[in-house]
Amino acid sequence: MRVDFLEEGLTAKIRVIGVGGAGGNAINNMIESGLKNVTFIAANTDLQALDMSRASIKIQLGVNVTRGLGAGANPEIGRQAGLESIDQIKEVIEGSDMVFITAGMGGGTGTGAAPIIAQASKELGALTVAVVTKPFGFEGKKKMQIAENGIAQLREVVDTIITIPNNRLLELKPRAVTLLETFKKADQVLYYAVKGIADLITIQGLVNVDFADVRTIMEEKGLALMGTGISSGDNRSIEAAQRAIRSPLLEDVSIKGAKGVLMNITASSEMTLEEVESASSLIYKEADENANIIWGTVIDDTMGDEMMITVIATGIKQDGIPLEETEKTQSLEDYKAKKEKKHEKEHQKTRIFRRLPLEEDDLDIPTFVRQRRD
């Protein structure tokens, strides 16, 4: 059994485990994005793919079962590989406060081993969240059924699951966009979910939201919605909030009836209480009337006229909300590109967190460009 520990920085209490080829690609993209305060772990039966991982910790799953050659799209082989390596899995998870597990459903390693890893994480007391993809429709009913079975197994052991159907990727961009760029869209869902929670825990606030608060929200069993919206202008708070709860990549889930909500609002020091109230009220009215809602604000004067809102809702139903996108609402890619062009400078960020009183009115992604099997 091979477990590689590479040199890493500060020990993180949040770990992200990429299982199989799709999961490995996802964490590579997160590492490229420079996400901090997180430990990345790659777990795969394919030794060649594992050697290409940028993760600081690598686990070769099922040395005896697969001999480093992958699971051959067989989830039972993936499950056996996970069970064979269970001690190594627990070794790297132990001490975690929160574990994100990302994988593509429908193949071998991700579908079979992800539930094994999730169960180990829960047994060790970590808050466990799965972010997984479903196959394209053109991959056939058999692969979709395998994926659905894997998702059902994950639901039994994780606290929260976020599902991304690959078919949604077909609706996002023109034909000229490359395959790699398209798949990175799905990886961004994981990136912003992890970053949002990492910021909640690690950025000191005037009124702190501690990990116990995050656990309370994320332990609401069921489906989850995670979205980020950016807007500007007079109605920026409403527009950004609407976009945040309308992720085009997620499964048909609606924030209506959500039992737990985390919300972050980032804007310059010109942000008004009225804007905070209007955005919070929109989210509050869409969620369950008895939902546990925690909101926070970040004052960042490099934002200019823009406002960014991130929402993580848990315990939600499986139906969609048709919210219209306005002209002033930017894509996350445009926002990131614009921010990268600004001169780097030191600026002060102030985070304010409060609980919203309930009584107030108000991929495995079939990555054809990567490994031959998973």
Q: Which residue ranges make up the annotated binding site?
A: 21-25, 108-110, 139, 143, 187
- H or E element in which residue 93 lies: helix 86-93
Tell which phi-psi region holds residue 209, choosing left (phi > 0), alpha (psi between -120 and 50) or beta: beta
- 198: its two tokens: 């990492």
Q: Give the ranges where 326-372 is alpha helix by DSSP (H).
A: 332-341
In this structure, are residues 75 and 108 in contact, taking their beta carbons and an 8 Å threshold?
yes
Q: Give the ranges where 131-246 is alpha helix by DSSP (H).
A: 141-155, 179-202, 211-218, 236-244
Q: How many CB atoms lie within 10 A of CB 38?
A: 21
Binding residue ranges for GTP: 21-25, 108-110, 139, 143, 187
Buried b (16+ CB within 10 A) or exposed e, 96-130: bebbbbbbbbbbbbbbbbbbbbbbbbbeeebbbbb
Burial class (CB in 10 A: 0-12, 13-18, 19+), 370: buried
Q: How far is 175 from 196, CA to CA, in rounded Å?
A: 31
